[in-house]
Structure 1
Amino acid sequence: MSSKHRVSGRRHMLSLLLPVLLLAHVPAALSLTPVRFAVIGDRSSGHVPGIYGRIVREIERLKPDFVMTVGDMIEGGIEDSLTIEQLWADYLELVEPLSMPIHYAPGNNDIWSDLSERIYRRYAGEPYYSFTHEFLHFVILDNSRISNSTEFSKGQIEWLEADLKQHQDALYTLVFFHKPFWNESIVVDAPDLLHEIFVKYGVDAVFSGHYHQYFSGRYDEIIYTNMGSSGGGTTPSPSGLKYHYAWVTVDEAGIHIAPIHMGSVLPWDILTAEERKLCQRLEREGLTFKEPLPIDENRQSVDGRAVLVVNNSFLPRPVKQMIKWTIPAGWQVSPEMVEIDLPAGD
């Protein structure tokens, strides 16, 4: 009897300890590995050559998990299939340096006709779709050929509601489309069909483009962000942002969005130790006055000639540069600037 009692008592103790141990291993707060992605703005409508490619290279240095666009990737509006295909081939070459996936949203310069939509599907995929990454659900909509939320096709709206309903268990849901209809609706307290759907199904963030200016807002706890130019023609913005992209981090604390000026992310080897030493030597020995500027007995400058020697004997590369004098008030120097072109070792 005594032995039986001891065994049953031990089992009872174990059954009490087990829930305590299990509870001890549940974290006090949700802990997730952050997801990081970049968002690229508009490239077309008066695009400036070279800008989009620079932004792509900066994003590649940051190594996000993936990249999103908000549309207007090519200069559209034409109806020649060969030309449109070449525009897409050129664009895909621009983003080829990216080592991570890129997800496209169509803009009005990407899809403007039935022909352009067929070509878009070949090069960029479905105009509207969704995907899930870790604890995030992404929805991409196509508003390339409409002017407000009420003009969405019945099919796309039905698909949107079904998709959002199916993925309501996602920790965060983010929606991307090109034209910021929300700027003409909820910002001025007007109704908006999309926003009503987003509120109904718990969308957390919305990204758009089209206007080539960055602006944002929070409405019914949904974060709205409009991307500006990542290469398209742009005008001065009150934000001070010109060419830019966004870096988005999502973790258990929320969605964190940081617009980044182009030129802010530099390569690791922008200046090597060897190059720094060469620069220091150049400062010491590269420019020397063989004949200094003459002065009189009162230490005042007089008309005369100063001879400057440019030395490139220790640099392993040619130097082609413009030398320009900083001229104080009351002085005259002729010429005010001169171009030098020295081969390596000269």
Structure 2
Amino acid sequence: MSTQLDRKHSEMFIDESRIATDKRPWFGALPEGLTDNFSFAVMGDRCGMMTAGVFEQGLELLKDLGPDFVLFVGDLVEGYWKDAANAREEWEYIDAQIAVTGLPFFQTVGNHDYGTQAMVDVWRERKGMDYYAFRVGDYLYLVLNTEDPFDPMSDEFIDLVKSATEKVHRDPENTLQYMKEFYDEIVSQLTPEQMKGMSQVNVGISEQQLAFAEKVLAEHADAKHTFVSMHKPGWKAESAEFARIEALLGDRPYTVFAGHFHSLEFSRQDNRTYIQLGRTGAAAHGTTRGDDNLVLWVNVRGGEISYRVVHLDGVTDAAAYPPHAHGHEEA
């Protein structure tokens, strides 16, 4: 395990036994001096079937608001490429958009980011680690990879995904129609048993990753609050691995952030809070307010944690409101 920065303020933890590389899945560094009063933002899925420009709008907003750092819950690229060149091209674009903001930005692996061997290879080539942890003052962050190992999709299914994605990119206003067509086409090709499997959340967390989580949690049992970031919501899965992580967390207060379903959900149970992030650019899976494009703003103030939702569709530049004449029309 490697430790960087000043232990009294902020530090990063990686599992050096996994991959020997100087590449990291984050941009920038945690600000110095963060202790018991700071703010961070959490962004939801940019992909799959993203609408161009929405995630970038979210980045611009956060650049203006200036959180101390940003946490991302996975699916930055459409992915599922078999050709590494295609994967690199997608990453080149979005990595540049994130880097130019200057915001410390911490990534979590999503299934679109890591869903084929080519995607895994390119992630490791560009970002190295696929799970890690960091500490900010008295607050611990554990970033997990729920695609370890990834769940491979058939070539036929990937072709369906790519076809639907192209339609959404070309005509985003009809995304819900294309999503329905995509779902109907999938259903027409599946057996009842396969349909049952479609509703299951498959979480992959390797023994090596679990050992890392156990070590970090044991060494930071004094943390006031632990934040866990994972792409697929482990609390919705029949996952022995996630159950082990919750057992390791025990009675300490903690929050789990996840994504994957493109719809915001919030629940609390005793010492734990579960937040499934909505989308930040990805296709909508429904029409409720939780299906809007949004970001989550988290304030930590003297041990108290608050969560506020910022809906991007309601945020506009002040220049969109030019002067106009005011007066009362005659009755």
**TM-score normalised by structure 1 residue count:** 0.64
1:179-206 per-residue CA deviation (whole Å, 9 max, x = no partner) reads: 01212459xxx99514533542625111
2:225 match: 172
Q: Is the 8 Å Cα contact of residues 47 and 112 (structure 2) preserved in structure 1?
A: yes
**CA 192–129 in structure 1, closer or farther in 2 if over 3 Å, else same:** closer
| AA partner of residue 234 (structure 2) | F
> For the structure 1 residues 65 and 266, does the alpha-carbon distance in structure 2 shift closer, same or farther, using more than 3 Å as the test?
farther
3-state SS of 1:55 partner: helix
* CA displacement 1:153-195 (0-9 Å, x = unmatched): 1111111111111111222211101001212459xxx995145
Alignment partner for residue 243 of structure 1, among 255, 280, 293? 293
Change (3 A) 1:125 1:63: farther
The alpha-carbon deviation at position 120 of structure 1 amounts to 1.0
Judge which range, 107-116 or 257-266, deviates more: 257-266
Per the alignment, residue 57 of structure 1 pairs with 60
* 1:192-207 equivalences in 2 (<5 Å): 193-194=243-244, 196-200=246-250, 202-207=252-257
Aligned residues: 241
Determine the C-alpha separation between the residues in 1 that align with 2:277 and 2:244. Answer: 19
Match of 1:46 in 2: 49
Pairing 1:70–2:123 present: no
Larger deviation: 243-252 or 208-217?
243-252
**CA distance in structure 1 between the partners assigned to 2:241 and 2:118 by the alignment:** 33
CA separation in 1, counterparts of 2:211 and 2:253? Answer: 16
Contact 2:284/2:291, CA 8 A, preserved across alignment: no
Counting aligned pairs with the same residue, the percent is 26
Q: CA deviation at 1:253?
A: 4.1
In structure 2, which of residues 26, 35, 38 is the aligned counterpart of residue 35 of structure 1?
Answer: 38
Which runs of at least 4 in structure 1 moved beyond 3 Å after TM superposition?
Answer: 146-149, 237-241, 263-267
1:115-169 Cα distance to aligned partner (Å, 9 max, x none): 32221123334110001122221110001225545x4211111111111111112
Partner-residue secondary structure (3-state), 1:178? coil
Residue of structure 1 equivalent to 2:308: 258
Structure 2 partner of 1:223: 273
Query: Residues 95-106 of structure 1: matches in 2 within 5 Å?
Result: 95-106=98-109
SS at match of 1:206: strand
Secondary structure, counterpart of 1:182 in structure 2: helix
CA contact (8 A) 1:129 1:141 kept: yes
Q: Counterparts of 2:129 and 2:246 in 1: how far apart (Å)?
A: 24
Is structure 2 residue 97 aligned with structure 1 residue 94?
yes
Name the counterpart of 1:4. Answer: none
2:224, 2:253 within 8 Å by CA — same for their partners in 1? no
Amino acid at match of 1:165: A
Distance change in 2, residues 1:124/1:262 (3 Å):
farther
Match of 1:156 in 2: 209
Secondary structure at 1:56 match in 2: helix
Q: What does residue 15 of structure 2 align with?
A: none
| AA aligned opposite 1:49 | A
What letter matches 2:121 in structure 1? Answer: R
CA distance in 1, matches of 2:299, 2:248: 21
> Aligned partners of 1:251, 1:49: CA distance in 2, in Å?
35
Distance in 1, matches of 2:270 and 2:36, equals 27
Deviation per CA, 1:63-86, whole angstroms, max 9, x where unpaired? 000001000000111111111001
Mapped to 1, the partners of 2:261 and 2:87 lie a distance apart of 23
- 8 Å contact kept, 1:57–1:97: no
Structure 2 residue ranges without an equivalent (≥5): 1-34, 152-200, 327-331
Query: More helix by proportion, 1 or 2?
Result: 2
Unaligned runs of 5+ in 1: 1-31, 285-346
Kindly state the Cα deviation for residue 263 of structure 1 after the two structures are TM-superposed. 4.1
TM-score normalised by structure 2 residue count: 0.66
Assess, with a 3 A threshold, how the Cα gap between structure 1 residues 266 and 62 changes in structure 2: closer, same or farther: farther
**Match in the other structure for 1:83:** 86
Q: Which has the larger radius of gyration?
A: 1
Question: Is the 1:143–1:152 contact (alpha carbons within 8 Å) kept by the matching residues of 2?
Answer: yes
